[in-house]
């Protein structure tokens, strides 16, 4: 015959009231984001002005400053492809080499003889 145990087993898993993170609690990232939004709303400035202000603020988090610099860069500095590069320089050299003695001759005239 089997022995029947009268131990009480605790429930495993499932819903437990009061367990876990409270609803509406904010982590560090959310608190920083709200502080940044509040500063922008108070100042009534353009997004670019705000990005530059945060980027130049020595008290701001280093990651946020770097991110603002990354996003503000296209508005402050021109793209590299707009400037003359190697490809454009080679094209200009090729045009210059095709002048003078090395200019291609005129194609033959195509006249119909009657």
pLDDT 10s digits, 59-82: 888 998 999 899 998 888 877 665
Mean pLDDT of 25-49: 80
Best CA proximity match to 51, nearest among 73, 29, 30, 35: 73
Residue 83 confidence (pLDDT) above 80: no
Apex 59 CA angle, 56 and 60, nearest 5:
70
Which token pair is 48?
């670019």
Mean pLDDT of 16-26: 82
User: pTM for the complete prediction?
Assistant: 0.39
Enumerate the domain spans of the chain. 27-78
| Chain centroid, CA 18 distance in Å | 40
Residue 22 confidence (pLDDT) above 70: yes
């Amino acid at each position: 015959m089997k022995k029947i145990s009268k131990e009480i087993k605790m429930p495993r898993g499932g819903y437990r009231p009061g367990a876990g993170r409270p609803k509406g609690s904010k982590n560090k990232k959310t608190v920083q984001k709200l502080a940044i939004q509040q500063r922008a709303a108070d100042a009534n400035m353009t997004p670019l002005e705000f990005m530059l202000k945060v980027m130049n603020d020595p008290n701001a988090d280093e990651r946020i400053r770097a991110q603002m610099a990354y996003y503000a860069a296209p508005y402050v500095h021109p793209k590299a492809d707009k400037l003359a590069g190697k490809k454009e320089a080679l094209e200009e050299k090729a045009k210059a080499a095709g002048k003078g003695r090395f200019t291609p001759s005129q194609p033959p005239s195509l006249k119909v003889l009657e």
